[in-house]
A and B are shown apart, each in its own frame.
Chain A
Amino acid sequence: MTTSLEKPDVRPVPEGHVRLTIDGEEVDAPKGELIIRSCERLGIIIPRFCDHPLLAPAGACRQCLVEVEMGGRPMPKPQASCTMTVADGMVVKTQHSSPVAQKAQEGVMELLLINHPLDCPICDKGGECPLQNQAMSTGRTDSRFVDEKRTFPKPLAISTQVLLDRERCVLCQRCTRFSEQIAGDPFIDLLERGALQQIGVAQDKPFQSYFSGNTIQICPVGALTSAAYRFRSRPFDLVSTPSVCEHCACGSAMRTDTRRGVVLRRLAGNDPEVNEEWIPDKSRFAFRYLTSAGRITRPMVRGSDGALTETSWTDALRVAAEGLLAAREGGIGVLAGGRLTVEDAYAYAKFARLAAGTNDIDSRARPHSAEELDFLGAHVVGNGPERLSYTRLEAAPAVLCVALEPEEEAPVVFLRLRKAAQKRRQKVFHLGQWTTPAVLRTAVELGSTEPAARDGLIRAVPGAEAAVLTELADVAPHVVEALTGGGVILVGERAAEVPGLFTAAARLAERTGAVIGWVPRRAGERGAVEAGALPTLLPGGRPVADAAARAEVEQAWGLPAGTLPATPGRSTAEMLAAAAAGELAALVVGGVDPFDLPDPAVALEALRNVGFLVSLELHTSAVTELADVVLPVAPDAQRSGSYLNWEGRRVRFGPALDASGVLPDCRVLDTLAVEMDVDLFTQTPAAAANELERLGRHVGVAPPAPSVDPAEPLRPRFFGQAVLATWRQLLDESSLAVDEPALAGTARPAQLRCNPATAQRLGLVAGAPGTVRTERGTITLPVVFADLPDGVVWLPANSPGSQVRGTLGVGHGDLVGVSA
């Protein structure tokens, strides 16, 4: 207890702060703080529309007017508290203590309402509408407006998923400012002027932004609505649950709104450390996979007639256990997929080691390499946000993206990079093939963006990325210089497609002192590494080959010493090859799409040839088609769990919907193991998480760093040949984006890209169709010119009409035939 005799007003003003008076209360505020924010901290809420803490001040709506005195002199006009910063000795009077401010706010509110329709009862925003709320709290009780309201034809579809009701718009410009300042793709802008001013899009240029859904969420009125949600529900009928995005490795905080057992919409949550308040449209709009026709809700067993029939859990688990027990001798492989929660990945890891008695487990349902395993063991596992976080990423003076197209593969990372480039002049470099929209928009804008963007792209022929990185000091010395001293290198999962690239990136980080981070595409990838769902790593990053590490796990799992297999397991590709050759008796497959795998043909053959196939799935798929036993698992909305995002940050979620009748993977595996006379103790996600936590992290010698020399890239040898560059677009044929036509309508069109010289040599014409072929098949897409290296063509990896691996059986860096 203190008994200071000092008066409070002689308290020194803290460093970097000013002291001002708000509504008679003295308050210290950091220099540069906006008055409206200082008021918020005092609990004084000033009504506002255009103000948004993550957007630059605009001062457009004039709703937040307050009276301000400076140096004892009142300013002649009320001031917009959202644009004016605090100053020492300032006296602020809000609507609570100033009749002038109160009248000004009431006046502006009345003006805003004269042209606003009174359609709240049918408006999506009604019930959660800032205009509605603030009109009630600060507006006049009546309107004096008796004349004609301005009307527009409605709604205007500015894209397939965003609808605009212009007469509801209060022209706060939050949406246009978001598009310009945050997403950097201003497809929408103000048109006309005066009372006819309106938001709009250019002719034939719809609002094709990956981030357009955020504008719906920050719209303070019902002017922007979601085509998928419009007229579906009232806010007060919804039950909201905090959730986490399952679509990518960004770990975005979200909110899931449900009504009577159905998810109706999802919104961005506010996690300043991760996604701030923004999420990409895929996170927001792709959730109807929960109710799609292919959803499996009952266990199924293949009968003697060869057809799958629904059965009881007891029966299905018995059949599965018997089949697996019989196959144990011949070997069981576990393909865990990349979308698992940490808890599920741990259950798969434990299932493989205990029930299947093998290290043949791999969560990488995509092109992968042994080099990657070394990289994950040496540079990724065990690291958390304390080493490399969004905050650290934003603060870095320079960032190099390797085999990572951030906007397509990690959109929230992209937003951070763009923010840093805009606000901190961060230099963002991309090792890639062409100046993508992300390259352009993460370039520091100094007048013309073009030259800066060119500097941001380090162009490499597909397959030559590792060689370019190795010789970066000669190829692009400015990049090496920029990375030295606090730089960050982000490596995408696609680095596994280029031999030597993980090695080259790790060595570059070593040379420059840059921090290296791994940004996979799927939500479960990072957690699977930590949980031990890899052939070379046990839970906690313990190397399989390390006897002491094995002993720790054995002890924790209560196993006799020497129980755990000591030899590293086989990778996904190796398991599939073995299964195809009849060298593996059974496969347990959790959420794997064969067409994501390096060679879908081999994968399908393996699934057909393997003696016994158990599939844990949400939806019918190419795997369930061939499975002997299909066990349905719970989607995220109906379970609890957590992901590790690319930072290594644990993001947890609870069930948003009633979870009775559906079981998470960890529970299914636990029960299956019991049928096989093994206890996993992963009945619930919480149990699995607790056990993984108790295991702790590996403290022994770190596994060796990857060491693979760059390979010679393939070069076109014959007329009509080209090297293929490919990666996935954010909105494509991914299985979790099914049944979302509105979302699919905003996908970037599938196009074949090459430079004009290559096009001429290959006989391609811009705008006309071009065909890429291998002996497996052909893909024909319209040709578009881009600044790719000579002799290279680019295709989207999994877009409508362009399933590269499925159709062509090749990938990034392979040779393909190209013709008109």
Chain B
Amino acid sequence: MTNSDRSGLDTSTPDPITPVLTRRWLSPRAWDIDVYEQLEGYAALRYALTGHPDQLIELVKASGLRGRGGAGFPTGMKWGFIPQGPTGAGAKPKYLVVNADEGEPGTCKDIPTMMADPHSLIEGCIITCYAIRANFCAIYIRGEALHPLRRVRYAVEQAYAKGYLGRDILGSGFDLDIVVHAGAGAYICGEETALLDSLEGRRGQPRLKPPFPATSGLYASPTVVNNVETIASVPAIVQGGSSWFRTMGQEKSPGPKIYSLSGHVTRPGQYEAPMGTTLRALLELAGGMKDGIPLKFWTPGGSSTPLFTAEHLDVPLDFEGAATAGSMLGTTALQIFNETVSVPWAVMKWTEFYKHESCGKCTPCREGTYWLLQILERMLHKQGTPADIETLLDVCDNVLGRAFCALGDGATSPITSGIKYFRQEFLDLCTAQPSGGVDTAAHDQLPELTGASA
């Protein structure tokens, strides 16, 4: 973790590792509203309420902030899509929904944010709601994340008590209610339209788009759905200004970002760095590979983003950089695997996850993940053939871009990238196949392949 002793923001060019989003995390009881206020908390809100909502939207547009949930959609533009005015769709109530259904394998930035600094999220919610003119905000937290859920609920309670929420906030005449909702343990509910259906009490499955949430979201009203980290970035932008925000990161992907390092590194955890940092730089912060065993492969942004290898240590980790190198920035969840790990095994475990979490709505994802997992399991049991590798790739091709939502696409990423970089490992499993028979000992050999227990 970073442990800068900066007590406030300035508008000078920050040090590459000077924290913004995580700057309060190490303060004792940072999650308490009193501590938060002492650390300049809710100052951005007071400032924001003095301006016109449109100015806030312009500010966020100018800052270049892009959504931190994975897709990187420009946040200000999303807010600008919300129809305003006394007639038509603008006359409907507007809603902010915060996507805190963090469930992607490897992704763990929102839960620590909510644990360590829940008020930054709440302050961001209030500013955002003021900007889009919403009087109701729902924070949808993954149901298994019980501690963050309690902490955010407590923080909301405190914010109400201090007059940051409720009627006539800080005398501005602006009203806002926040509801903290616990999901019920479905990965698909992280997809924004499935999240909205789930929030409405329906079965969580993605909705047909259009209409998009901006015009017809929660209860068919204009809705902004943003990630926790996106919203938590807003107070800093209000306080520091858009040009300050742009001093960090890249031209097209500005600002600070929390990178989550997990796996075979010496000090796994959250590392805040400007957008566009590299794994090499992050590994330095994290003390290098665990036990000095060399890096074999890693995900740049969770299991749905195609794998990288040791060749990609210097790929700039921003939206453009990751895409150019053939992957995606995703949620900047870097799962790092050393040379002891079998790629087919890891791919199989990820596929198991997607098969378990496929919502079942569309054919490619539902049936594709079911099939892919069986092939991979068979290969891991040394009952695969080289033809299976081609089948895997072709089934992935039939799922990618054919599924209803991005979950199906994500499910193919580990498989196609795994085969792309490590085809020989898959082939090796096939050649180990005894000729003409089933390997009865296959099950016993599985643990040896894993190596991940290292």
Contact = CB atoms under 8 A, between A and B. Distances in A.
A76 interface: yes
Nearest to A75: B401
A442 interface: no
A560 B192 CA distance: 83
Majority SS of interface residues in chain B? Answer: helix
B439 interface: no
B403 A115 contact: no
A114 B364 contact: no
Nearest to B206: A59
Nearest to B219: A447
B103 interface: no
B338 interface: no
Category for how many chain A residues contact B: 35 or more
Interface in A79-104: 83, 103-104
Contacts of B402: 62, 65, 77-78, 104, 107-108
A260 interface: no
Nearest to B371: A114
A78 B367 contact: no
Contacts of A42: none
A144 interface: yes
Interface stretch (A189-197, A230-238, A312-320, A767-775): A189-197
B398 A103 contact: yes
A150 interface: yes
A61 B364 CA distance: 8
Interface in B170-191: 186, 188
B300 interface: no
A195 B398 contact: no
B103 to A, nearest CB: 14
B398 A147 contact: no
Contacts of A77: 401-402
B363 interface: yes
Contact of A111 (B359, B363, B401, B404): B363
A614 interface: no
B203 A195 contact: no
Given A78-B401, A144-B391, A189-B203, A171 B366 contact: yes
A110 interface: yes
A148 B378 CA distance: 11
Category for how many chain B residues contact A: 35 or more
A145 interface: yes
Interface string B340-358: 0000000000000001111
B398 to A, nearest CB: 3
Contacts of B186: 193
A171 B186 CA distance: 19
Q: Pick the most buried of B355, B358, B371: most chain A CB atoms within 10 A of its CB.
A: B371
B210 to A, nearest CB: 9
B362 A61 contact: yes
Q: Pick the most buried of B363, B364, B371: most chain A CB atoms within 10 A of its CB.
A: B363
A438 to B, nearest CB: 24
Nearest to B359: A193
Nearest to A65: B402
A76 B401 contact: yes
Given A77-B402, A104-B398, A62 B362 contact: yes
B401 A114 contact: no
A57 B186 CA distance: 24
Contacts, number: 103
B367 A112 contact: yes
A114 to B, nearest CB: 5
A60 interface: yes
A115 B398 contact: no
Contact of A114 (B219, B355, B370): B370
Contacts of B161: none
Interface string B365-397: 011111100110010000000000001001101
Contacts of B394: 107, 144
B363 A194 contact: no
B361 interface: yes
A168 to B, nearest CB: 14
Q: Pick the most buried of B205, B356, B401, B402: most chain A CB atoms within 10 A of its CB.
A: B402
Given A59-B208, A195-B355, A108 B363 contact: yes
B163 interface: no
A65 B401 CA distance: 10
B401 A194 contact: no
A197 B366 contact: yes
B212 to A, nearest CB: 14
Given A107-B395, A193-B359, 12 more contacts: A59-B208, A104-B402, A107-B394, A108-B363, A111-B367, A189-B203, A193-B188, A194-B357, A195-B360, A195-B366, A195-B369, A195-B370
Interface of A: 57-63, 65, 76-78, 83, 103-104, 107-108, 110-112, 114-115, 144-145, 147-148, 150, 170-171, 189-190, 192-197, 447
Interface of B: 186, 188, 203, 205, 208, 219, 355-364, 366-371, 374-375, 378, 391, 394-395, 397-399, 401-404
30 contacts: A59-B208, A59-B362, A59-B404, A60-B404, A62-B404, A76-B401, A77-B401, A77-B402, A78-B401, A103-B397, A103-B398, A107-B395, A107-B402, A108-B363, A108-B364, A108-B398, A111-B363, A111-B398, A112-B367, A114-B367, A114-B370, A144-B391, A144-B394, A193-B357, A193-B358, A193-B359, A193-B360, A195-B355, A195-B360, A197-B359
